[in-house]
């Protein structure tokens, strides 16, 4: 529990710190820059985590096998739960649904905070993208929230 | 192990991100600003952690009792080990020595990196100060490294 608190607190500080810096810096483009910076941080942390995790695991069979690893082992380490639902169109699009996303459960579930949700998703989009990248999969990851604290991450695989 | 990796990676990203921002921003005063920002982040995370940790603990006897809590429980949660040595002059100065400080063990122990050590200590100085602050103790916390990865944190209690 204490570890989880440490991660949540650090994540909040990163979000707050980057938004503060962006506000002081560039005006309107500030929020976009902060989201970009959060995503990049997530990307590098995702890369680093995957390096450590997969040191002793067996080779993955295929893309779906990798996605399952992200939904189970990877997600559990970071968020203390698995992804609740993984869907795919078998053409390179995956949707990962978390019905109780840990970085959103700290916020009130009311609609009035819905507009702040993207701040708390950008780091995790990067985390997924970085993890996949180190497993040889190039992707674009986006997130959407319809009713908090549930959210969906959409992964679009970029064929090379 | 995975949790620890997450903390170490996030911490590294914060250090790198703040230094990058400082370099782009203000030139010479940049590094000082980055250290200040790291210390403030540590302060708020320390406050948050103490709030969670002490929810169910007994009231502390005195100042020394609080310092021991920081050296044992608090340190173990964040760094997976206790402080190796706690000394005090019984007049409000405490020296906490960690012979193998977790945020420095990632770096080579050579002398050539000694100049970079302060970057990796600022957050933790804030962490201690924030923790103590939420336990009603105002302090100034500084750190020094003589030979990596050992380091000493000096806590000066500010009498109110």
Q: What is the pLDDT of residues B37-63, one digit of tens each?
A: 899 999 999 999 999 888 888 889 999
Q: Which residue of A has its CA nearest to B26?
A: A25
B28 phi and psi angles, rounded to 5 deg: -65, -40
Which letter does DSSP use for residue A45 in this model?
H
User: Given an 8 Å threshold on Cβ–Cβ distance, is A17 in contact with B41?
Assistant: yes
Q: Given B9, B17, B49, which is nearest A6 (Cβ)?
A: B49
What is the share, in percent, of chain B residues with pLDDT greater than 70?
Answer: 94
Q: Given A1, A9, A52, which is nearest B2 (Cβ)?
A: A52
> What is the per-residue pLDDT across A1-53, written as a single tens digit (0 to 9) for each?
567 888 999 999 988 888 877 777 654 456 778 888 899 999 999 999 999 88
**B159 vs A127: which has the higher pLDDT:** A127
CA–CA distance, A93 with A141 (Å, rounded to integer): 10
Q: Given B6, B18, B41, which is nearest A78 (Cβ)?
A: B6
Q: Give the pLDDT of residue A29.
A: 58
CA of A91 to nearest chain B CA: how many angstroms apart? 32
CA–CA distance, A86 with B153 (Å, rounded to integer): 47
Q: Given B2, B7, B44, which is nearest A6 (Cβ)?
A: B7
CA of B13 to nearest chain A CA: how many angstroms apart? 6
Put simply, whether A56 touches B (Cβ < 8 Å) is no
Q: Give the pLDDT of residue B2.
A: 62
Count CB pairs under 8 A between chains A and B.
Answer: 70
**B154 vs A110: which has the higher pLDDT:** B154
CA of A79 to nearest chain B CA: how many angstroms apart? 10
Q: Given B18, B21, B45, which is nearest A9 (Cβ)?
A: B45
Q: Give the pLDDT of residue B29.
A: 58
pLDDT at A109 over 90: no
For residue B90, CA distances in Å to B2, B75, B102 come to 39, 22, 28
Mean pLDDT of A124-137: 95
Mutation to test the A interface, candidates B1, B7, B17, most A Cβ within 10 Å:
B17
B112 pLDDT band, cuts 50/70/90, is confident
pLDDT at B6 over 60: yes
CA–CA distance, B2 with A49 (Å, rounded to integer): 8
B25 pLDDT band, cuts 50/70/90, is low
Q: Given B1, B9, B52, which is nearest A5 (Cβ)?
A: B52
CA–CA distance, B91 with A126 (Å, rounded to integer): 48
CA of A94 to nearest chain B CA: how many angstroms apart? 25
Kindly report the average pLDDT of chain B as a whole number. 88
The residues in A 16-55 lying below 8 A from B, measured between CB atoms, are: 17-18, 21, 25, 37, 41, 44-45, 48-49, 52-53
User: Given an 8 Å threshold on Cβ–Cβ distance, is B13 in contact with A44?
Assistant: yes
Q: Give the pLDDT of residue A56.
A: 80
CA–CA distance, A49 with A58 (Å, rounded to integer): 16
pLDDT at B23 over 60: yes
CA of A8 to nearest chain B CA: how many angstroms apart? 9
The residues in B 91-110 lying below 8 A from A, measured between CB atoms, are: none
Q: Which uninterrupted H or E stretch holds A131?
A: helix A122-134
Q: A50-64, B54-68, B74-88: which has the highest mean pLDDT?
A: B74-88
């Amino acid at each position: 529990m204490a570890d989880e608190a440490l991660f949540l607190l650090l994540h909040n500080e990163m979000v707050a710190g980057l938004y503060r810096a962006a506000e002081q810096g560039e005006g309107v483009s500030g929020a976009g820059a902060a989201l970009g910076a959060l995503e990049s941080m997530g990307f590098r942390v995702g890369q680093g985590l995957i390096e450590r995790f997969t040191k002793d695991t067996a080779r993955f069979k295929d893309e779906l096998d990798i996605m399952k690893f992200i939904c189970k082992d990877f997600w559990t380490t970071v968020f203390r739960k698995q992804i609740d639902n993984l869907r795919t169109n078998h053409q390179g699009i995956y949707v990962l649904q978390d019905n109780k996303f840990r970085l959103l459960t700290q916020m009130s579930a009311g609609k009035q905070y819905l507009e702040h949700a993207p701040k708390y998703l950008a780091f995790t989009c990067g985390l997924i993208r970085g993890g996949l990248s180190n497993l040889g999969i190039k992707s674009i990851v986006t997130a959407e929230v319809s009713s908090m604290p549930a959210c969906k991450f959409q992964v679009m695989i970029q064929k090379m």
